[in-house]
């Protein structure tokens, strides 16, 4: 009989834990039919519609959220000229007035990144970061001659596409692979979200002039607001990426980011990327600069990203009250008092004979409250019964009861009465009894 009851209590604890976990995650069982590690419902809420304008040396993309009440636009403009490859990223959000058909408010953030030139240098101070004053500059390779932009569209789901743009220098040394997606998708083992673009930087067969040199990609940051470093990126916080670093620029409402993997693939080996501190550009207003430093190699591959933080819509926002109401209704009213000391059974596998028969202190109000755990759909049946009060008793509590001057039946009855009290009331009464016992000894 004892083993059977013990089995029920363990089952109850296990089932209730699963129930709470389900509630904590929105009481929704996630599905991921496209195997990208992102819940399908969450993906649906964040799908965007992409439109393209294209020319030989420039393309512009407008991306709009498909679902929900938010009216917004991500605008991406990429072009090359004699000063390198520039990428301008902007976001605006409009809220439609309830009393009119016009848009009555608008917020905007605009920032950009420009890949300007590649510097071959000898690292005199041996810190793996280019500094024109301390290091020896071997040559400066300008990004100024390109083939016309090439692009392709790939179907990634029934109603969403992936857009791929390739920008090559005419000598084939520098290539930018740019990806824009309408929904979450994985490219080259990296997850791309709809609120960002992925840029794979490729440097192939660089014409080194010195056998001991390495490379720095001179990168300009453009914004009316200063950039600052960000050690933990949004994608790292959300679990979409690991080992990222980057810089951000923020208004009161929006934050733009330029992030990258902390390692690059250099001659098929993963090697650390070193970044200089952010410096103001001495020639251009509203521009700052960094140097992305790579170890020497014939093939260098690195994958930065550009985007806006905080745009992804959580599915919890659409159903905020349902799990909360269920939890409250389950916990607040059902007259089952449950007490089971997990600690005691874990650390005391061989209790005394007297307490072996009395350690089970769960006393259901009626047999049906136990039977629900032996049948199918037990969680639903538990919810139908009403609310549940759960009381956990520690080893210390049982030790105190054990020391009371009562026979076995009296202790059992006393335990059952104590279960109807709150933990604070229970402790208060028990301490008074023990105190009285000490004073009378």
Domains of the chain, residue spans: 2-27+319-440, 59-312
**Quick one: pLDDT at residue 350?**
43
Question: Taking residues 2-7, what's their average pLDDT?
Answer: 51
pTM: 0.66
| CA-closest candidate to residue 379, choices 27, 3, 5, 2 | 27
Confidence of residue 18 (pLDDT cuts 50, 70, 90): low
Provide mean pLDDT across the span 228-242: 92
Give residues with Cβ within 8 angstroms of 274, minimum separation 6: 127, 128, 129, 293
* Higher-confidence position of 229 and 437: 229
32 — pLDDT class (breaks 50, 70, 90): confident
Tell me the mean pLDDT in the region 172-196: 94
Average pLDDT rounded to a whole number, residues 410-424: 72
Reported as a single tens digit per residue, the pLDDT across 372-414 is 344 455 555 555 555 555 565 666 666 777 667 777 777 777 7
Angle at 98 between CA 96 and CA 103, to 5 degrees: 25
* Averaged pLDDT for residues 84-97: 83
Strand partners, 177: 166, 200
Q: Is the pLDDT of residue 225 over 60?
A: yes
The residue whose two tokens read 């009465």 is 417
| pLDDT average, residue stretch 62-82 | 91
Average pLDDT value over all residues in the chain: 78
Q: Is the pLDDT of residue 233 over 70?
A: yes
| Residue 342: band (very low, low, confident or very high) from pLDDT cuts 50, 70, 90 | very low
Question: What pLDDT, on a 0 to 100 scale, did the predictor assign at position 4?
Answer: 52
Top-ranked range on mean pLDDT: pick from 41-50, 196-205, 231-240, 414-423:
196-205
Q: In which band, very low, low, confident or very high, does the pLDDT at 278 lie, cut at 50, 70 and 90?
A: very high
CA atoms of 206 and 54, how far apart (whole Å): 30
Q: Which helix (H) or strand (E) holds 77?
A: strand 71-81
pLDDT reading at 189 higher than 50: yes
N residues, the chain = 441
Which of 44-58, 97-111, 116-130, 240-254 is predicted with the least confidence, judged by mean pLDDT?
97-111
For position 367, what pLDDT does the model report? 41
């Amino acid at each position: 009989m004892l083993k059977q009851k013990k089995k029920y209590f363990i089952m109850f604890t296990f089932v209730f834990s699963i129930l709470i976990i389900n509630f904590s995650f929105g009481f929704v069982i996630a599905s991921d039919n496209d195997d990208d590690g992102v819940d399908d419902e969450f993906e649906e809420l964040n799908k965007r519609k992409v439109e393209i304008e294209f020319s030989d040396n420039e393309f512009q993309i407008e991306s709009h959220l498909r679902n929900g009440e938010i009216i917004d636009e991500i605008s991406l403009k990429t072009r090359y000229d004699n000063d390198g490859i520039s990428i301008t990223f902007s976001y605006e959000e409009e809220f439609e007035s309830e009393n009119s058909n016009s848009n009555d408010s608008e917020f905007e953030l605009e920032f950009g990144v420009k890949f300007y030139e590649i510097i071959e240098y000898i690292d005199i101070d041996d810190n793996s970061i280019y500094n024109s004053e301390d290091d020896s500059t071997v040559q400066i390779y300008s990004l100024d001659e390109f083939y016309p932009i090439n692009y392709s569209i790939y179907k990634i789901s029934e109603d969403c596409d992936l857009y791929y743009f390739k920008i090559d220098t005419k000598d084939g040394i520098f290539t930018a692979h740019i990806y824009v997606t309408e929904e979450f998708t994985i490219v080259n083992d990296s997850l791309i979200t709809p609120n960002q673009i992925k840029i794979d930087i490729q440097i192939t067969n660089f014409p080194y002039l010195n056998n001991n040199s390495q490379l720095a990609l001179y990168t300009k940051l453009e914004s009316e607001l200063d950039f600052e470093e960000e050690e933990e990126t949004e994608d790292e916080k959300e679990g979409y990426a690991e080992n990222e670093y980057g810089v951000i620029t923020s208004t009161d409402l929006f934050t733009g980011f330029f992030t990258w993997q902390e390692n690059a693939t250099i001659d098929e080996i993963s090697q650390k990327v070193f970044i200089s501190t952010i410096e103001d550009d001495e020639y251009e207003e509203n521009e700052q600069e960094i140097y992305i430093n790579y170890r020497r190699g014939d093939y260098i591959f690195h994958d930065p990203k550009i985007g806006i933080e905080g745009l992804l819509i959580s599915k919890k926002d659409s159903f905020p009250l349902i799990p909360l109401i269920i939890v409250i209704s389950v916990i607040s009213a059902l007259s089952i008092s449950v007490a089971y000391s997990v600690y005691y059974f874990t650390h005391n596998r061989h209790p005394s004979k007297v307490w072996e028969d009395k350690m089970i202190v769960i006393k259901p109000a009626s047999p049906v409250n136990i039977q629900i755990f032996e049948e199918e759909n037990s969680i639903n049946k538990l919810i139908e019964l009403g609310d549940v009060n759960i009381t956990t008793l520690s080893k210390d509590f049982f030790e105190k009861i054990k020391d009371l001057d009562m026979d076995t039946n009296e202790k059992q009855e006393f335990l059952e009465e104590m279960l109807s009290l709150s933990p604070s009331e229970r402790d208060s009464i028990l301490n008074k009894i023990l105190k009285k016992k000490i004073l009378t000894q």
